[in-house]
Amino acid sequence: MSLQDIHIRVADAHTVGSLDAILNEIASRLHDFVDTGATSLIDLKSLPFSAEEYEGLRATLGRGEVTARLDSIGDSEIYETRFPGVWWVTHYNVEGDIVADLIEIASVPAIVHSQPEDIYVGLARLRQTLTSVRGEPVEP
Partner 1 sequence: MKEHETLEQRLGEQGVSRRAFLKFCAALATMMALPPSSAGAIAAALSQAKRPSVIWLSFQECTGCTESLTRSHSPTLESLIFDMISLDYHHTLQAASGHAAEQARDEAMKAFYGKYLLLVDGSIPLKDGGVYSTIAGRTNLDMLEEAAKGAAAIVAVGSCAAFGGLPNAQPNPTGAVAVSDIVRDKPIVNISGCPPIPSVITGVLAHYLTFGELPALDELGRPKAFYGETIHDRCYRRPFYDQGKFAKTFDDEGARNGWCLYELGCKGPTTHNACATTKWNGGAGFPIEAGHGCIGCSEPKFWDAGSFYTPLSAPAADVAAVAQVSMIAGAGAAVAMGALDRAKKQKLQQSREKLTVADLKGD
Contacting residues toward partner 1, per CB under 8 A: 7-11, 13-15, 17-18, 40-43, 45-51, 53, 70, 72-74, 76, 91, 93-95, 97-102, 110-111, 114-118, 121
Rounded least distance, CB 79 to partner 1, Å: 16
Which residue, 52 or 138, is less far from partner 1 as judged by CB? 52
40-43/86-92 β-pairing:
unpaired
Nearest residue (CB) to partner 1, 14 versus 138? 14
Tell me whether residue 15 or residue 134 sits nearer to partner 1 (CB atom). Answer: 15
Give the single-character DSSP code of 139. P
Closer of 47 and 66 to partner 1 (Cβ): 47
Half-sphere exposure at residue 89, Cβ-oriented, CA atoms within 13 angstroms: 19
Burial 54-75 (b: 16+ CB within 10 A, else e): bebbeeebeebeeeeebeeeee
In whole angstroms, give the CA distance from residue 40 to residue 32.
9
CB of 135 to partner 1, least distance (A): 26
